[in-house]
Structure 1
Amino acid sequence: MKRKQIEISMAEENHCYENAMTERVNHILKDEFYLDQTFMNTPHTKRAIKNAINLYNEVRLHLSLDFRTPNMVYKLTA
C-alpha cells in the first residue's frame, strides 16, 4: 500500500473509535456480501460493491433500526 501511496488507516489520526465502526462495516461487507474475494478486474469490483451497497440499504434488515432498512428509515424522516 505504501508503494502505491495508499493510506493505510481509514479513520482520522488519533480517533480509535472511528476505526472500530469502520472495522464493523468492513466485517459486514466481507462476511455477508462476500467482498473478501479477489476480483478479476475493476468493473467486476465496482459491480460487486454497488450490489452490496444496494442490498445493505434496500434489503438487509437492521436490528438497530427496528428491523427496517436504512432506506425505509430515511423515507420516514424525509
Structure 2
Amino acid sequence: AEARLKIATWIADFYNTTRRHSANEGLPPITFERHMIEKRQATSALLRTAVA
C-alpha cells in the first residue's frame, strides 16, 4: 500500500507535470495548460473589446 501511494504521488507531482507530451506541442502538461489559459484570456479580452 505504501509503495502504491509513493508511486501515485510521484506520477502526480513529478512525472505528469514535467514530462513532455507530443499532443501538447512537446510541452509538459503544466506549461501547456498555462499557455492555454493565457490564450483564452487574450481571446476573452478581444471579444469584450469587440462587443464594447
Q: Which runs of 5+ in 2 are unaligned?
A: 39-52
Match of 1:73 in 2: 32
- Scaled by the length of structure 2, the TM-score of the pair is 0.55
Q: Which runs of 5+ in 1 are unaligned?
A: 1-41
Q: Greater helix percent: which structure? A: 2
1:1-52 Cα distance to aligned partner (Å, 9 max, x none): xxxxxxxxxxxxxxxxxxxxxxxxxxxxxxxxxxxxxxxxx12211111101
CA distance in 2, matches of 1:43, 1:49: 10
Q: Which has the larger radius of gyration?
A: 2
- Scaled by the length of structure 1, the TM-score of the pair is 0.40
1:49 corresponds to 2:8: yes
1:60 corresponds to 2:19: yes
Count of residues in correspondence between the two structures: 36
- The amino acid across from 1:63 in the alignment is S
What percentage of residue pairs aligned between the two structures are identical?
A: 8
> Which 4+ residue blocks in structure 1 deviate beyond 2 angstroms?
none
CA distance in 1, matches of 2:29, 2:23: 10
CA distance in 2, matches of 1:72, 1:44: 28
Structure with the bigger RCO (C-alpha within 8 Å, sep 6+) is 2
